[in-house]
Amino acid sequence: MSSNRSSRLPGFFNLPLEQRLAKVVEVGDLNLEAQAALHGESGLTLEQADHMIENAIGLFSLPLGVAVNFIVNQREVLVPMVIEEPSVVAGASHMAKLARAGGGFTARTTEPEMIAQIQILDVPDLEAASQQLLRHKQELLAKADLVDQAINRLGGGARDLEIRPLHDTPVGPMLVVHLIYDTRDAMGANVVNSVAESLAPTIESLTGGRVHLRILSNLADRRLAHASCRIPAKELAFGQFSGDQVRDGIIEAWAFAVADPYRAATHNKGIMNGVDAVLIATGNDWRAVEAGAHAYAARDGSYTSLSRWWVTKQGALEGTLEMPLAVGTVGGATRVHPAAKACLRLMGVSSARELAEIVVSVGLAQNLAALRALATEGIQRGHMELHARQVAIAAGAHGALIERVARQLIAEGVMILERAQEMVRRWNEE
């Protein structure tokens, strides 16, 4: 996105789809190729799909939306989101608008360090083996650095080695080596797994044990992303709810998630609605991020909220989200899928860290959208309109009939397919 453009696009929601795309292309300064990719005309080809996975038989589409109003680290950004669930894109956009009053989102990330795990079994003496590995740490790091010269040239590579004895497992004691590796702009699964495999023979000879698993950890707790935002209470007011009421209701809702894993799972799912949608749009491995997020949410022994919300001295609502975010802007689908390339271009990100900073901000916005709705009118009202349209389409409505059927379903307060089919039949005959 060009630097002097704003992501604040009033009325964007009400434009027809083609005009929305045209606006995004204009604001995002996208070329024709990117435009065609976003429109779905030149998305992934069957040939590309065939090279991506085994037994490919075709393609599967999902809606691509754009969240507006985002400012992340003082930069205006249009955020592409791929998701089938209604209300997610609207929720993120709306909260990003409220956050603008406090300057938008401030986000930061740690170095992109991943963990390669090497499991060693049948170790004669855990303590002696640990000492031996630590004595040869530099040699092991140097060996790890031979695996990917390109990452080394870009400033990444092996950073550290940690030893973790596990004394009590179902198969007895074992030693685990963590090789810390900076993957720069790659998500890094391939290189990290290769590093783990390359070190196995040396580790066996140093420890006298038997190396078993050699694989990255998705609990990427050295690759964290952190976002915060502050919203003046008056911005939160709507309908019959005062700003203070909404703010306090959000904090009460958050407290529920802090204390109760049953609620925390749903609370964090709401965060991942936003996170995953951007990850899918950019061709990233959202399962890896999901696994890391939930493991991180349980890091202190009980599963809890990934976000925090509180009231500032001035009475504003302030919130933060911190989670592992192993994402890449090079390698994998990010560079193969034409729409993923166009989405990266739209955000104008130049590094994986910058992408993670946007993603974590969207996660925080999404959490706020859910809490605000739940703490006030409930989420069903917001869902209704889009849900009604989906029921109308499922009932066979086309063109203007979709809106007509949807409006009638809302008016009647029923979301029943058979009722929508009746309307379609009747109005088609008019």
Q: Does 65 bind ligand MEV (CB under 6 A)?
A: no
Does the active-site annotation cover 269?
yes
CB 266 → ligand MEV: shortest distance, Å? 4
Q: Which is nearer to ligand MEV, 208 or 249 (CB)?
A: 249
Q: Does 31 bind ligand MEV (CB under 6 A)?
A: no
On the CB side of 155, CA atoms within 13 Å amount to 4
CB 248 → ligand MEV: shortest distance, Å? 17
Q: Which is nearer to ligand MEV, 355 or 368 (CB)?
A: 368
CB 378 → ligand MEV: shortest distance, Å? 10
Does the active-site annotation cover 276?
no
Residue 246 main-chain phi, psi, to 5 deg: -65, -45
Tell me which of 269, 308, 387, 404 binds ligand MEV, using CB under 6 A: 269
Tell me which of 228, 273, 329, 361 binds ligand MEV, using CB under 6 A: 273
Burial class (CB in 10 A: 0-12, 13-18, 19+), 16: exposed
Q: Return the closest-CA partner of residue 140 out of 125, 159, 127, 154.
A: 159
Tell me which of 143, 214, 222, 267 binds ligand MEV, using CB under 6 A: 267
> By CB under 6 A, what part of segment 374-393 binds ligand MEV?
374, 379
Task: Give the separation between CA 101 and CA 97, rounded to whole angstroms.
Answer: 8
Q: Does 307 bind ligand MEV (CB under 6 A)?
A: no
| Entry field: residues in the chain | 430
CB 268 → ligand MEV: shortest distance, Å? 8
Stretch that binds ligand MEV, among 38-46, 200-208, 269-277, 352-360 (CB under 6 A): 269-277
Helix (H, G, I), strand (E, B) or coil at 424: helix
Q: How much of the chain is in helix, strand and coil states, percent to nearest 5?
A: 50, 20, 30
What does DSSP say about strands 317-324 and 224-231: parallel, antiparallel, or unpaired? Answer: antiparallel
CB 197 → ligand MEV: shortest distance, Å? 39
**How far, in Å, are 64, 387, 418 from residue 394 at the CA level?**
19, 10, 10
Q: Which residues contact 274 (CB under 8 A, 6 or more apart)?
A: 81, 88, 92, 359, 362, 363, 365, 366, 367
Q: Does 246 bind ligand MEV (CB under 6 A)?
A: no
For residue 186, what is the DSSP state?
B
Tell me which of 266, 302, 350, 380 binds ligand MEV, using CB under 6 A: 266
Tell me which of 157, 243, 270, 283 binds ligand MEV, using CB under 6 A: 270
Q: Which is nearer to ligand MEV, 150 or 259 (CB)?
A: 259
Burial class (CB in 10 A: 0-12, 13-18, 19+), 302: exposed
Stretch that binds ligand MEV, among 19-27, 221-229, 264-272, 387-395 (CB under 6 A): 264-272
Instruction: Spot the catalytic one: 111, 269, 385, 387.
Output: 269
Residue 377 main-chain phi, psi, to 5 deg: -90, -5
Q: Does 284 bind ligand MEV (CB under 6 A)?
A: no
Q: Which is nearer to ligand MEV, 2 or 380 (CB)?
A: 380
Does the active-site annotation cover 85?
yes
Task: Give the separation between CA 28 and CA 349, rounded to whole angstroms.
Answer: 12
CB 370 → ligand MEV: shortest distance, Å? 4
**Whether 108 contacts 242, CB under 8 Å:** no
Q: Which is nearer to ligand MEV, 189 or 250 (CB)?
A: 250
Size of the site for ligand MEV (CB under 6 A): 9
Tell me which of 220, 356, 370, 424 binds ligand MEV, using CB under 6 A: 370
Helix (H, G, I), strand (E, B) or coil at 180: strand
Does the active-site annotation cover 178?
no
If one counts every other C-beta atom within 10 angstroms of the C-beta of residue 120, the result is 25
Whose structure tokens read 């030893």?
163
Tokens describing residue 109? 């990330």
Instruction: Spot the catalytic one: 383, 385, 387, 403.
Output: 383
CB 273 → ligand MEV: shortest distance, Å? 5
Instruction: Spot the catalytic one: 26, 33, 50, 85.
Output: 85
Q: Which positions are catalytic?
A: 85, 269, 285, 383
Residues that bind ligand MEV (CB under 6 A): 85, 266-267, 269-270, 273, 370, 374, 379
